[in-house]
Structure 1
Amino acid sequence: MQVILKQDIKHLGEQNDIVDVKPGYGRNYLIPQGFAIQATESAKKVLAENIKQAQFKQEKIKKDATELAAKLENVKLSIGAKAGESGKIFGKVNSIQIADALKAQGFDVDRRRITFEVEPKVLGEYVANLNLHKEVKVQVPFAVVGE
């Protein structure tokens, strides 16, 4: 029996794969649980069209991420933070502050896509990693300065 997987299933396949399974496994588990649908000719045509549209959307998203990455290469940020006499920051600089600083310069980046190589805990120079797409990553330098 052939089924089209609706989601990734360990040791069986990934979403939108057409896989052969035993009829009982497909009828009694995969289809009732909503993990798969039966691979009829019409379902295969719908799947092919959905994959084609998804590829088009992914290419557009990747193109937009690449353009944004090219604009972000020359950006340098300055983040203000309260610090003690030794230069240690009260609290820490987080991805929300980096996202706000980028937004102030006209770049809209989701805070969940921002990571740090080294957590900023003292005043100084750091690098933020922006994961704009699974294939497009940019490093943006920023300075933590005392207020």
Structure 2
Amino acid sequence: MPTTVTPQSTAKTTRTVAKAAAPLTSTARKMPAQKAAAKKAPAAKKPAMKPAVTKAAKAAAPEKIKTTKKPKLVRDSFTMPKDEYQAIETLKQRATGLQRIAKKSELLRAGIMALSAMDDKDLLAILAKVPALKTGRPMKA
């Protein structure tokens, strides 16, 4: 049966010839027996020697500074009435008058701390004063 030569078959042949003619890399030069021997032979382990440290040297060494992990921050958004939002601005101005610049998030976090410090009776009384809002984004005017 005669073989037909197609452009695809000649391309395969030239790639095969090009691979055979390519110079061998350092990993390709190793013989298979050498590779197997290198894998089987474990590296010789030497016993680890610890340096002798005296009690005086330990006492003189500076203590490691313990770092505290930063708390993971969470971004959130919410809807509030305009008058309550204006109250945040008023509180910021009051804090500035007291020589303490406060950010909106600091004021909200301080409010959370104040609510957390309340007993259950006072917390329920404050929550009863807060009107419920419809959740979601407000309608565009």
TM-score by length of 1: 0.21
Q: Which has the higher helix share?
A: 2
- Max radius of gyration: which structure? 2
Q: Which structure has the highest strand share of the two?
A: 1
